[in-house]
Amino acid sequence: MRKWQCIVCGFIYEEANGLPEENIAPGTAWEDVPSDWLCPECGAGKQDFEMIEIV
């Protein structure tokens, strides 16, 4: 499972956790998140997210 970070505000979407409060089930791959989904923190679109590596 990967993690994606909003380059605008730093919010992190974790595929393993999903976002149940936004009707995105745990285990939902980034590719399966709706294309019109917006960052819950700042309203940025999916195009403003980058995959990150946590070390």
The type of residue at 6 is C
Which residues contribute to the annotated binding site for Fe cation? 6, 9, 39, 42
Using the predicted structure, report yes or no on whether residue 55 has a pLDDT greater than 80: no
pLDDT at 54: 65
b/e code 12-51 from CB counts within 10 Å (16+ = b): ebebeebeeeeebeeebeeeebeeebebeeeebebebbee
Fold of 3-52: Rubrerythrin, domain 2 (2.20.28)
What distance in Å separates the CA atoms of residue 28 and residue 7, rounded to the nearest whole number?
20
Quote the pLDDT of residue 1: 86
Look at residues 44, 10, 11, 40 and name the one whose alpha carbon lies nearest to residue 23: 40
Domain positions in the chain are 3-52
2-50, pLDDT tens digit by residue?
Answer: 999 999 999 999 999 999 999 999 999 999 999 999 999 999 999 999 9
pTM for this structure? 0.90
